[in-house]
Amino acid sequence: MKLSILAAVAVLSPVAALAHDGMHANDAYVRSTNPKVGAVFMQLENHRQVACTLQGVSSDAAERVELHTHVEEGGVMKMTRIEDGIAVAAGQTHALNRGGDHIMMLGLAEPLADGDTLTLSMDFGDCGTEEVQVVVDNQREDAAPADHDHDHDHVHGDHQGH
């Protein structure tokens, strides 16, 4: 019996490894503080032997989807667009979180209601494209990183905070 279980595990292990042989998104959710803007957060996992860069994101749920981060300028935290993508080293993870790197959805097709699900197409360049299901959770209160602990309901260009 023990040998049968071990044989089954050995046979299924390569299948499990293949299921995560590229980029993977964990705990993906979106928050929206107004009807036109949403911010997406998740953890990116790179299961490849090479670094992968998130170069862009698209979704039918918004007119524009951009990669953003927060930077300190003169003692004030400001949100800014990431032009060169978000790199994830081989075998590593990268958090997209409040107060740090994240995905902004601008010009939402309709307001986001808790429990709704959106599909994002994430372009990792040479590492391929991943479709990610993102749940709307406007009530989620993840803590911002300690070095970026501030209120996110601020003005940013042509939209208001997230």
What the block records as the tokens of 146 is: 């300690």
Determine contact, residues 87/112, Cβ cutoff 8 Å: no
- The tens digit of pLDDT for each residue in 8-37 reads 444 444 444 344 578 999 999 999 989 999
Q: What is the pTM of this model?
A: 0.76
- The tens digit of pLDDT for each residue in 75-128 reads 999 999 999 999 999 999 999 999 999 999 999 999 999 999 999 999 999 999
Q: What is the dihedral of CA 74, 77, 78, 81, to 10 degrees?
A: 110
